[in-house]
Amino acid sequence: MLTDLFILRDVPGYIRLDNSPEFVAEAERKWIGAVSAQTPYIEPGSPWENGYIESFNARLSDGPLNDEIFYSLKEAQIIIEQWRQHCKTKRPHSALGYKPPAPETSIPLQ
């Protein structure tokens, strides 16, 4: 699919990859080299290279991905969105003095 896209739109200078399973990642890097693109590869377990993603992935893995069994994509979307909203509005953060980052407010309707 990407080959077809590159034929239509040209090959980008860089393609960013996640840390797929070892054998998949190796095949991806070989394919990217074959189409003359480059990849700013991030070593596994290197949160200093992409701290936001590593931090998010760790929290998501420790949260709903470990706690739930999803029986459909829709169920996963709903549960993960509820978890995301909880993290954004209710979960205390140590960097904020154990306060939630954006507490929910109740504004009376007129």
Q: What is the DSSP string of 89-103?
A: HTS-BGGGTSB-SS-
Q: What is the pLDDT of residues 44-98, one digit of tens each?
A: 666 556 666 667 777 888 888 888 888 999 999 999 899 888 887 888 877 778 8
CB 41 within 8 A of CB 32: no
- Sign of the Cα pseudo-torsion (19, 24, 26, 30, in order): negative
pLDDT for 7 beyond 80: yes
Predicted pLDDT at 103? 61
Taking the C-alpha atoms of residue 110 and residue 108, their distance in angstroms, rounded to an integer, is 6
| pLDDT mean over 22-40 | 74
Predicted pLDDT at 110? 59
With a CB cutoff of 8 Å and minimum separation 6, the contacts of 89 are 100, 101, 102, 103, 104
pTM attached to this predicted model:
0.45
pLDDT for 2 beyond 70: yes
